[in-house]
Amino acid sequence: MDIQGKRFLLIGGAGLIGSHTVDELLKEDVAEILIYDNLTRGSRENLNFALKDPRVKIFPLGGELMHRDILDQAMKGIDGVFHFAALWLLHCHDFPRSAFEVNIAGTFNVLEACLNNEVKRLVYSSSASVYGDAVEEPMTEDHPYNNVTFYGATKIAGEHMCRSLHHRYKGTEKHLDYVGLRYMNVYGPRQDYQGAYIAVIMKILDRLDKGLPPVVYGDGTQAYDFIYVGDCGRANVCAMKAAATDRFYNVGTGIRTTIKELAELILEVTGSDLKIHYEPGGQTFVKNRVGCPKKAETELNFKAQVTLREGLEKLVYWRNNHKEEVEMRKIKAGINE
């Protein structure tokens, strides 16, 4: 889709990936960027820079997925929708009923509002959680659904609702083009403590601040694909611009990094001479997940640009310059010193 002069609605646009997508959209000649967010996990602080641009507005009537009439009102005259809003993995694990209502029923509400308002294009935030542990590596988009989590189940449901309604209304006025993005392990500035696999970075940095060594649970061989959040913002804009429809894409680097290697790199970036402390236990849902990035590069013109070292340096810089904000994120996540 040609995005020049278009109006966009970002549902969950005050969150980690959403706010970085706003930043990327501001580099384009778009007419308006409207944020629809209940600020449960996202925050106005994430949009401090973006809100200085007159094209960016927070929808004044609310940001709840379950308020269907308000959601419908927010979509009036909108050309493209980015849907980021969801309960996160551990929240879904603890509260599956709420996860069903927000991630599944809420996503249906988004799709219904898109159809009713003849929105041209939707970019749906799915997740690499749909894959579960890798059966083969790297995981292409044809990798089987090996998920065992409720969060992953909600994302699979969202993908199939997008697909089925795309085909249901194909060729009609309500026809909705869409693509889904399966993010790998997203990290970077504005990060909170509520990501099951990414909070480890913030917790390691907290310990280093206190002169304590990083803790790694198990032997540290669990391996993931870490993708910088700014790259995820670019991936969303690329997906909105692309001609592809009814497809799902990995958003990752394709590079395998173990938790041990991650901890060692954080020690290097911070200049710490402390040694990793290994402990048994720790909760993890997936131990091995690295995605193949080739399809997104070919069909969306997206390729990750920021290395893990560069991304960690950017995160550390942001964290050091936003100490009050980081403390508020700890409180929000229920982390006690």
What dihedral angle (degrees, nearest 10) is formed by the CA atoms of 158, 161, 167, 168? Answer: -160
Beta-bridge partners for 191: none
Q: Are residues 32 and 128 located together in one domain of the fold?
A: yes
Contact of 270 with 206, CB cutoff 8 Å: no
**What confidence tens digit (pLDDT) does each residue in 255-296 have?**
999 999 999 999 999 999 999 999 887 666 778 899 999 999
Identify the pLDDT of residue 331.
72
Identify the pLDDT of residue 106.
98
Q: Are residues 174 and 260 located together in one domain of the fold?
A: no
Identify the pLDDT of residue 90.
86
Q: Are residues 160 and 214 located together in one domain of the fold?
A: no
The total number of structural domains in the chain stands at 2
Q: Are residues 216 and 326 located together in one domain of the fold?
A: yes
Q: Are residues 59 and 41 located together in one domain of the fold?
A: yes
Identify the pLDDT of residue 49.
95
**What is the SS3 assignment for 289?**
strand
Q: Are residues 165 and 241 located together in one domain of the fold?
A: yes
Q: Are residues 135 and 245 located together in one domain of the fold?
A: yes
Residue ranges of the chain whose pLDDT lies below 50: none
Give the range of the structural domain holding residue 219, as residue numbers without chain letter. 188-225+255-289+306-332
Beta-bridge partners for 187: 228
Does residue 142 lie in a domain region? yes
Identify the pLDDT of residue 336.
57
Q: Are residues 167 and 210 located together in one domain of the fold?
A: no
Does residue 86 lie in a domain region? yes
Identify the pLDDT of residue 104.
98
Calpha distance 149→194 (Å, rounded)? 16
Q: What predicted TM-score, i.e. pTM, was given to this entire model?
A: 0.95
Give the containing element (helix H, strand E) for 116.
Answer: helix 106-116
Query: How many C-beta atoms surround the C-beta of residue 233 within 10 A?
Result: 22
15: CATH: 3.40.50.720
Does residue 81 lie in a domain region? yes
Q: Are residues 73 and 117 located together in one domain of the fold?
A: yes
